[in-house]
Amino acid sequence: AVDPTLAGRRVLVTAGATREALDPVRFLSNRSTGKMGYALAREAARRGAQVVLVAGPGNLPDPEGVEVVHVESARDMHAAVLARAGWLDVAIGAAAVADYRPAVFQPHKIKKGEDRLVLELVRNPDILADLGRQKRPGQVLVGFAAETADLAEYARRKLEEKNLDLIVANDVTQPDAGFAVDTNRAVLVHRDGRQEDLPLMSKDALAAAILDRVAALLGRRDPE
């Protein structure tokens, strides 16, 4: 059903993994499938928002009523998102963006030779942190934190560093949370310090819970 607070709002979601090319046929990537981000985009569209989904490569179908921008690398995703920084009311960073990319892209396929090959990697830009640096009043920024220890503590630090309003933390060492499964067990950390430990739920249900919090954050502000 249409949500009066989210209806017409401009929501951008990032989803999936990025691919960082080594040469024309090889890349570095991770196990993210995009399920959480796609669930968020579907749910935001269902509530009447104008949704742009910036998605890394994957097998999920484009959600109905959502503008999908397909990207490959972290730098592509960064460009697609930052181009919409002034447009968006809400950004939700559900993508598992590669922190590093190969320092050089080899234009020809790397040949096998020596027994040992050393790859040099360089840092990628941080998409959400860059949105956080230019956040305008009224914009709501939501991040995810996949952690293996001290969940809430690292999440809180990330919220501060990236100037976010809400962070969704999950322990990726648990088999029912994280990559390539349909469920998630999340801890929500709010900017005001509140922490909510959510029970195990489907990614669709978690998407709804997150958008309830986003609507509450938007509702405290004047529209337009």
* Shortest distance (Å) from residue 17 CB to ligand C5P: 11
**Nearest CA among 147, 177, 143 for reference residue 160:** 143
**Any contact of residue 14 with ligand C5P (CB under 6 A)?**
yes
Check whether 210 is labelled as a binding-site residue.
no
**Cα torsion angle, 209, 215, 220, 221, sign:** positive
Residue 160 DSSP symbol: H
Does 178 participate in binding ligand C5P (rule CB under 6 A)? no
Binding of ligand C5P at residue 53 (CB under 6 A)? no
Q: How far apart are CA 103 and CA 128, in angstroms?
A: 22
Q: What is the DSSP letter of 73?
A: S
93 binds ligand C5P (CB under 6 A): yes
Binding of ligand C5P at residue 169 (CB under 6 A)?
no
Sheet strands (E) in the chain: 10-15, 20-23, 26-28, 50-55, 67-70, 90-93, 100-102, 121-123, 140-147, 166-171, 183-184, 186-190, 195-197, 201-202
Look up tokens 């469920």; give the residue: 183
Interaction between residue 33 and ligand C5P (CB under 6 A): no
99 annotated among ligand-binding-site residues: yes
Q: Which of 74, 166, 169, 187 touches ligand C5P (CB under 6 A)?
A: 74
Q: How far is the CB of 14 from ligand C5P (least distance, A)?
A: 6
Residues in 114-143 at the binding interface with ligand C5P, rule: CB under 6 A: 124, 126-128, 143
- Binding site for CTP, residues? 99, 109, 125-128, 144, 158, 162
- Residues of this chain that bind ligand C5P (CB under 6 A): 14, 74, 93, 95, 97, 124, 126-128, 143-145, 158
